[in-house]
Amino acid sequence: MERSKSYKELDSKYYMQVFTREIQLVRGKGAKVWDDTGRAYIDCVAGIAVCSTGHCHPAVTKAICDQSRELIHCSNLYYVPHQAELAEELCRITGLGRAFFTNSGAEATEAAIKLARLSTKRLNFVAFTHGFHGRTMGSLALTHKPAIREPFEPLEPRCTFVEYGDLEALAGAVDGETAAVIVEPVQGEAGVILPPEGFLAGVREVCDRKGALLIVDEIQTGMGRTGKWLAIGHEGVSPDIVLLAKGIASGFPMGAMLAREGLEFHRGEHGSTFAGGPLACAAARATIGVIKGLLPTVKEKGERFRGALQRHSPRGRGLMIGITVGERCQEVQHRCMEEGVLVNCAADGNLRLVPPLVITEEEIDRAARVIDEAIG
Ligand SMILES: *Cc1c(COP(=O)(O)O)cnc(C)c1O
Q: Which domains does the chain have, with CATH numbers?
A: 14-57+297-375 (3.90.1150.10), 59-288 (3.40.640.10)
The DSSP result for 96-160, as a single string, is -SEEEEESSHHHHHHHHHHHHHHHH---EEEEETT----SSHHHHHT---HHHHGGG-S-SS-EE
Q: Where are the alpha helices (DSSP H) in the chain?
A: 2-14, 46-49, 58-70, 83-94, 105-120, 137-141, 146-149, 167-173, 199-210, 278-308, 329-338, 361-375
Reported residue count of the chain is: 376
Q: Are 98 and 259 in contact (CB under 8 A)?
A: yes
Say how many Å lie between the CA of residue 144 and the centre of ligand 1.
Answer: 13
Q: Does the pLDDT value for residue 150 go beyond 70?
A: yes
Strand 350-353: give its sheet, edge to edge: 315-317, 320-324, 350-353, 344-345
**Residue 302, SS3?**
helix
Which atom of ligand 1 lies closest to the CA of 135?
9
The DSSP result for 165-203, as a single string, is T-HHHHHHH--TTEEEEEE-SSBTTTTSBPPPTTHHHHH
Mean pLDDT of the chain: 97
Active site amino acids: 132, 217, 246
Q: Does the pLDDT value for residue 35 go beyond 50?
A: yes
pLDDT score at 201: 98
pLDDT digits (tens, 9 = 90+) for 225-246: 999 999 999 999 999 999 999 9
Residue 89: alpha-carbon gap to chain centroid: 19
Long-range contacts of 12-16 (CB under 8 A, 24+ apart): none
Sign of the C-alpha dihedral computed for residues 91, 94, 96 and 101 taken in this order = negative
Out of 182, 246, 354, mutate this one to test ligand 1's pocket (max ligand atoms within 8 Å of CB): namely 246
Q: Does the pLDDT value for residue 1 go beyond 50?
A: no
Mean pLDDT of 24-47: 98
Mean pLDDT of 355-367: 98
Q: Are 207 and 176 in contact (CB under 8 A)?
A: no
Say how many Å lie between the CA of residue 376 and the centre of ligand 1.
Answer: 31
Which atom of ligand 1 lies closest to the CA of 109?
10
Q: b/e map of 253-289 (b: 16 or more CB within 10 Å)?
A: bbbbbbbbeebbbeeeebeeebbbbbbbbbbbbbbbe
pLDDT digits (tens, 9 = 90+) for 91-113: 999 999 999 999 999 999 999 99
Q: Is 189 in the pocket of ligand 1 (CB under 6 A)?
A: yes
Q: Are 185 and 221 in contact (CB under 8 A)?
A: yes
Q: Is 134 in the pocket of ligand 1 (CB under 6 A)?
A: yes
Q: Where does the pLDDT of residue 3 fall: very low under 50, low under 70, confident under 90, or very high at 90 and above? A: low
Say how many Å lie between the CA of residue 54 and the centre of ligand 1.
Answer: 19
Bridge-based pairing state of the strands 98-102 and 124-128: unpaired
- CA–CA distance, 371 with 224 (Å, rounded to integer): 24
Angle subtended at Cα 107 by Cα 239 and Cα 88, rounded to the nearest 5 degrees: 55
Which atom of ligand 1 lies closest to the CA of 218?
13
pLDDT score at 270: 98
Say how many Å lie between the CA of residue 225 and the centre of ligand 1.
Answer: 14
pLDDT digits (tens, 9 = 90+) for 277-288: 999 999 999 999
Q: Is 245 in the pocket of ligand 1 (CB under 6 A)?
A: yes
- 205 CB neighbour count, 10 Å cutoff: 16
Q: Is 218 in the pocket of ligand 1 (CB under 6 A)?
A: no
Mean pLDDT of 40-54: 98
pLDDT digits (tens, 9 = 90+) for 161-194: 999 999 999 999 999 999 999 999 999 999 999 9
Say how many Å lie between the CA of residue 107 and the centre of ligand 1.
Answer: 9
Q: Does the pLDDT value for residue 2 go beyond 70?
A: no
Q: Is 132 in the pocket of ligand 1 (CB under 6 A)?
A: yes
**Residue 327, SS3?**
helix
pLDDT score at 166: 98
pLDDT score at 103: 98
Per the DSSP assignment, residues forming a β-bridge with 217 are 243
- CA–CA distance, 199 with 220 (Å, rounded to integer): 19
- CA–CA distance, 24 with 52 (Å, rounded to integer): 20
Mean pLDDT of 300-328: 98
Q: Does the pLDDT value for residue 145 go beyond 60?
A: yes
Q: Is 122 in the pocket of ligand 1 (CB under 6 A)?
A: no
Q: Is 133 in the pocket of ligand 1 (CB under 6 A)?
A: yes
Mean pLDDT of 2-13: 82
